[in-house]
């Protein structure tokens, strides 16, 4: 067996660190959630376009079925952002990211239904990680001053997790036979169009409110979108979707730690407890052989 130059497990670590910046950056952007999400995806597509020359022949060869499945993934991603980013303005970043990353259990159930084989050890790891995420959610400080708003935010985040799970399950199967840029570029573009329809439907301004907002939009596209989602999509060619989804449960810890110096949201001590539980559960989901072998294809 040969070791990879860039192991998929390291890719997951990069993705987790990158997506942890999403919550704080969305808050700093100080724009309507749908507008900020639209620009995040649109700018990511623009950044990717110079690297798509080899993908055009494949796109021209797509039939109706290929485009339909790609569209499903894009719409699911767009709805995920619309719901989750909206939740950030009703509840704490720690609670919002913890709930949206409960996508892991949805991905595991959906993956098992679609034929993925999960060991008892993997199921145990998922359940432990989800328990840790619930501990983090229980620290939601917004429940005291305005319980209804916090519960609305928690509900939006949970629904956003369902959208993300659908996107990951579709992506796992498409990535098995598509190159990274070939897959993510049309999916991101369709997600951006989905958000554009929502922005227009809710009569929100499409243009950025100012230069500072646009800088944060660029940061959202570069760090959590390309460094987070795109790297996670790369790993899904080599790792089952439930493994990637479970490790993304570490995002709330990173987001909470970043929100402390950036936004002044001091994390509850239970965030550390929940984070340790998530880490133990996530570690149980990865078979040792995956870390050391060269992927096929």
Domain spans, the chain: 8-48+63-292
Q: Are 258 and 21 in contact (CB under 8 A)?
A: yes
3-state secondary structure labels for all residues of the chain: CCCCCCCHHHHHHHHHHHHCCHHHHHHHHCCCHHHHHHHHHHHHHHHHHHHCCCCHHHHHHCCHHHHHHHHHHHHHHHHHHHHHHHHCCCCCHHHHHHHHCCHHHHHHHHHHHHCCCCCHHHHHHHHHHHHHHHHHHCCCHHHCCCHHHHHHHHHHHHHHHHHHHHHHHHHHHHHCCCCHHHHHHHHHHHHHHHHHHHHHHCCCCCCCCCHHHHHHHHHHHHHHHHHHHHHHHHHCCCCCHHHHHHHHHHHHHHHHHHHHHHHCCCCCHHHHHHHHHHHHHHHHCCCHHHHHCCCCC
Give tens-digit pLDDT for 33-48.
899 999 999 999 999 9
User: What pLDDT is stored for residue 287 in this prediction?
Assistant: 60
Q: Which of 57-71, 80-94, 204-218, 274-288 has the highest mean pLDDT?
A: 57-71
Mean pLDDT of 188-203: 95
Q: How confident is residue 148, by pLDDT bands cut at 50, 70 and 90?
A: low
Query: Residue 194 has what pLDDT?
Result: 97
- For residue range 104-121, list pLDDT tens digits in order: 777 877 877 766 677 788
pLDDT at 215: 93
Is residue 230 packed enough to be buried (19+ CB in 10 Å), middle (13-18) or exposed (0-12)? buried
Give the C-alpha separation, 275 to 117, whole Å.
26
- Please report which confidence band the pLDDT of residue 140 belongs to, taking 50, 70 and 90 as the band edges: low
More confident residue, 224 or 95: 224
Structure tokens that stand for 262 in this block: 């950036």
> How far is CA 58 from each of CA 42, 66, 237, rounded to the nearest angstrom?
22, 11, 18
pLDDT reading at 143 higher than 60: no
Angle at 196 between CA 195 and CA 199, to 5 degrees: 85
Higher pLDDT, 8 or 293: 8
């Amino acid at each position: 067996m040969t070791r990879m130059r860039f192991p998929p497990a390291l890719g997951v670590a990069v993705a987790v660190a990158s997506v942890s910046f999403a919550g704080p950056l969305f808050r700093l952007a100080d724009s309507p959630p749908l507008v900020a999400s639209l620009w995040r995806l649109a700018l990511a597509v623009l950044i990717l376009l110079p690297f798509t020359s080899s993908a055009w022949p494949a796109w021209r060869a797509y039939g109706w079925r290929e485009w339909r499945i790609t569209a499903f993934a894009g719409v699911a991603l767009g709805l995920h952002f619309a719901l989750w980013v909206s939740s950030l303005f009703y509840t704490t970043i720690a609670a919002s990211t913890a709930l949206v990353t409960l996508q892991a259990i949805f991905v595991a159930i959906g993956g098992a239904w679609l034929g993925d084989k999960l060991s008892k050890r993997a199921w145990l790891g998922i359940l432990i990680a989800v328990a840790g995420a619930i501990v983090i959610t229980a620290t939601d400080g917004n429940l005291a001053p305005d319980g209804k708003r916090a519960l609305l935010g928690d509900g939006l985040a949970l629904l956003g997790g369902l959208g993300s799970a659908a996107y990951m399950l579709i992506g796992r199967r498409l990535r098995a036979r598509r190159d990274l840029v070939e897959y993510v570029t049309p999916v991101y573009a369709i997600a951006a169009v989905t958000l554009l329809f929502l922005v227009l439907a809710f009569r929100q301004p499409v243009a950025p409110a100012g230069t500072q907002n646009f800088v944060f939009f660029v940061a959202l596209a570069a760090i959590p979108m390309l460094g987070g989602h795109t790297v996670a999509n790369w790993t899904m060619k080599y790792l089952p979707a439930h493994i990637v989804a479970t490790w993304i449960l570490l995002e709330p810890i990173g987001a909470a730690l970043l929100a402390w110096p950036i936004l002044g949201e001091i994390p509850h001590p239970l965030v550390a407890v929940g984070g340790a539980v998530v880490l133990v559960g996530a570690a149980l989901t990865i078979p040792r052989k995956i870390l050391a072998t060269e992927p096929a294809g």
